[in-house]
Structure 1
Amino acid sequence: MLSPRQLFLQHQAQTTDFPLLLEVEKAEGVYMYGPNRERYLDLISGIGVSNVGHRHPKVIQAIQQQLDKYLHLMVYGEIVQAPPAQLAHALAQTLPAGLDNVYFVSSGSEAVEGACKLAKRFTGRTELIAFENAYHGSTQGSLSLNGSESFKRAFRPLLPDVRHIRHNHAPDLELITTRTAAVILETVQGEAGVRVPSRAYLQNLRQRCSETGTLLILDEIQSGFGRTGTFWAFEQFGVIPDILTCAKGMGGGMPIGAFISRREIMHSLKNDPMLGHITTFGGHPVSCAASLATLQIIQEEGLLAQVAEKAARFQQRLTHPAIKEFRHLGLMMAVEFDSFATLKSVIDSALLKGVLTDWFLFCDNSMRIAPPLTITMAEIEEACDLVLAAIHEQVHP
């Protein structure tokens, strides 16, 4: 009988010629465990997904309770189901007044697709503006918004009427005009290597959008649900979006996403045409139950208040001549080295020592560190010891 590894290589579609091939039998908290009792400390949370750790007991309990009631019943929006209704209400309580209409989808890419469709439908305009080195997903629409040509050129033609401007560069804001339906911005650029815009820039962007009747879409697929130390990263910049997207960390490990807006904007999807956005699995009751539990865990366990101290400890410990820069907003962190070759050797060495890290799509000389918000100070010490040991082993300054 073929092993899971053999089946993976033989039948499962691959995305690179060098998959990680880390075989996991169980995961709990900040650790993943292999078939031979190997233990790996997860410093990337499944790329920003496991904000409350792997298999948090309250998430598992919520899933189990919902399994005893029902699974999928009907396509999104037709039947009243308690899990999505309760989750929508809970999300609205975390947001400024007015951002109270939630459309549930199945992933971050679909959240971006829905947000951009909504902006075009509401404004009647066609131009979309995104940013250099932006990442918004992998479907053809969201790929059109991404800011790296190397990831797009093989799939052209993509969406027309998409313009890219420079991130955190105020003069380019003049390119936003009365023909622009929406500007979409990651509140913190993720795959660019954790690039945080200035508060003044984000406020100027908000003002320019308001002046031109352009909708501001903030993508918090990576930065939302407490990752940066506030529930939503935009809270730290004194701006309010017209549309907000989220996914990844909101599901506690289950697949879910959403785009959120004001009622008057969201209701434009109801007519001309009716069913302006349709999704089969959006608002899946099990995913919504897991997401509501995740939201409650973040609030009830005081995880937001711990983020700054934990991030500061990473920054204090991760010092070495080979580290060129440490960038972060909360527990969304990037550790920069001189090259991809150096970083890759450190990542590989760290994995052998029992800690999982990664790099960024558009910044391949920087190490991604985004652990579960539940990580303890002792686990941070362990993680930093292992990463530093890997650096010492691979780099000789």
Structure 2
Amino acid sequence: MKTDFLQYQAQTSPHPLMVDVSHAKGSYIYDTDGKSYLDFVAGVSACTLGHCHPKVVKAVQEQTEKYMHVMVYGEYIQSPAVQLSKLLAEHMPAPLDCTYLVNSGTEAIEGSLKLAKRATGRSQLISAVNAYHGNTQGSMSVMGAEHRKQAFRPLLPDVDFIRFNNEEDLQKITHRTAGVLLETIQGSAGFLPPQNDYLAKVKKRCEEVGALLILDEIQPGFGRTGTLFGFEQYNVVPDIVAMGKGMGGGMPVGAFSASKKYMHLLSDGPKMGHITTFGGHPVIAAASLATLKEVLESDLMQQAVEKEALFKKLLQHPKITDVRGRGLMLAMMVESEDLANHIILKCMEKGLILFWLMFEPKAVRITPPLTISKEEIAIGCKLILESIEEWKA
């Protein structure tokens, strides 16, 4: 299987980890040799309720027995998509009352950028240095890392960048700006939260010049930071919210939400201003609805805050310089890139899954399922500390 994997399936890096997955359940992934791996990554923040959560599995099974794909997005009334959109509207602040369901986070970004241009009639887009919003052409255009884009240019024109948490750069937002796109918490840059009411100040500047604020909640969203969406903790309401990853409980999904006033613009002038074949797919929407209900009806968001504190208490070592982030969106910072690589690979040998961050080589990603137990956290942290002790620089 590993030979066929390398031969026939396109790769994203020269050295994939190549765990040959047999099955996954709860906080664990199992390989075909019977080895178990405690999962501190959750499919890169995607498996909000762990692996094969019974409520998600049940929702998927029940929907597949009713109908699957029947029509392109937006033409037929399909109950799971309608219920999901309504429940989101009920739990987001005004005026965010309308949701467009798509297939992934990067498509949510693409739709958000188009909506900002359509609503304002402007062309300039502003993002942040070291931002990551996906890898399709539009999303890559607003990625704040030139070394990852150069091989694929030309990309979208009229894109500028500001430094996250730098208030001086807000003057770059002008009457030419259609939209300012920021991650609520910068992910690939090292899980950097906004400081000093930064996001509210960005929104104020956007209002002054008539630009729209788009917040990327693809990682922080759906309870990961202790609230349904991360922006709820930072005194700001964006004009557009992009979401994905943990929204589907392990199924592929994305969405962007805005006011009905703005979202209507994608349906006329021109018609089908944004269109997708499989967006709002009934099986995916059913899984997403089950995930959202569980996050809202359980105490998982409160637990995320408690578990954050536990991680920060347990991950104490002279070679750990910081544990950044909010809730269960954490980055353990260490002294060097080599040490970070050692920890990730050594822990995999020990049966603990960790991962890297794209633009911060000294970071170790810790984004477990929200359902992870405190006992499992303690087990994993012990393995991390053991791996650090085994490090020989």
Q: After the TM superposition, which residues 326-365 of structure 1 pair with which residues of structure 2 at under 5 Å, given as runs?
A: 326-365=323-362
One-letter identity of the residue aligned with 1:128: L
Deviations 1:230-286 (A, max 9, x none): 000000011000000000000011111001000110111111211000101100000
Match of 1:62 in 2: 59
Q: After the TM superposition, which residues 1-397 of structure 1 pair with which residues of structure 2 at under 5 Å, given as runs?
A: 4-395=1-392
Deviations 1:165-186 (A, max 9, x none): 1110001101101110000000
Shift of 1:219: 0.3
Q: Is contact 1:86–1:292 with CA below 8 Å preserved after alignment?
A: yes
Over the aligned positions, Cα root-mean-square deviation in angstroms equals 0.8
Mapped partners of 1:376, 1:169: distance in 2: 37
Deviations 1:310-358 (A, max 9, x none): 0111001111111111111111101111222111111111000000001
One-letter identity of the residue aligned with 1:209: C
What TM-score does the superposition give when structure 1 sets the normalisation length? 0.98
Mapped partners of 2:305, 2:78: distance in 1: 37
SS in 1 for 2:323: strand
Mapped partners of 2:103, 2:129: distance in 1: 26
SS in 1 for 2:339: helix
Shift of 1:307: 1.0
Return 5+ residue gaps in structure 2 as ranges: none
SS in 1 for 2:361: strand
Mapped partners of 1:395, 1:282: distance in 2: 49
Of all paired residues, the percent bearing the same amino acid is: 51
Mapped partners of 1:367, 1:24: distance in 2: 22
Q: Is contact 1:337–1:366 with CA below 8 Å preserved after alignment?
A: yes
Q: Is contact 1:311–1:331 with CA below 8 Å preserved after alignment?
A: yes
Shift of 1:199: 4.5
Return 5+ residue gaps in structure 1 as ranges: none
One-letter identity of the residue aligned with 2:26: G
Q: Is contact 1:130–1:146 with CA below 8 Å preserved after alignment?
A: yes
Deviations 1:119-177 (A, max 9, x none): 10110000000000000000011000000111101111110000001110001101101
Mapped partners of 1:97, 1:203: distance in 2: 16
What TM-score does the superposition give when structure 2 sets the normalisation length? 0.99
Aligned length: 393
SS in 1 for 2:47: coil
Shift of 1:97: 2.2
Mapped partners of 1:71, 1:147: distance in 2: 38
